[in-house]
Structure 1
Amino acid sequence: MTPGRLVRERREAIGWSQARLAQAAQTRQPVISRIESGRLNPTVDMLARLANAMDAELTLTLLPR
């Protein structure tokens, strides 16, 4: 699952609009839209900000190929 899809699913689960998430994560709504649509690959820092804003835990796992 892509990071954008995970962000969208969590955002929708808590009933937030993209604008509300953007405000909470101190970014702009078009950034959220581009992340969710896969047109922008978020940095780890941005993912951490989004997770924190949505009271979620960000876990990164590196798996062997």
Structure 2
Amino acid sequence: MGKTDQKKPGDPAKADAEQEDGAVDNAFDLWLRRGLHQLYDTVANEPIPEALLRMIEEDRKEKED
């Protein structure tokens, strides 16, 4: 593995990349994923407000014209 291929500290782990400390990275990725889901799933599942949907549709129509 060349210098450009080495993982730098703070870089997000790539799922398909082989890493020397893969078990640690996988554990961290799992912890992070669970934490983010726990924090943001309720927000992501909220319905989109009607006013925002209306604005998106109006913008889409303007771009078509």
Normalised to the residue count of structure 2, the TM-score between the two structures is 0.29
Identify which of structures 1 and 2 has the higher relative contact order when contacts are C-alpha pairs closer than 8 Å and 6+ apart.
1
Question: Quick check: which has more Rg, 1 or 2?
Answer: 2
Higher helix share: 2
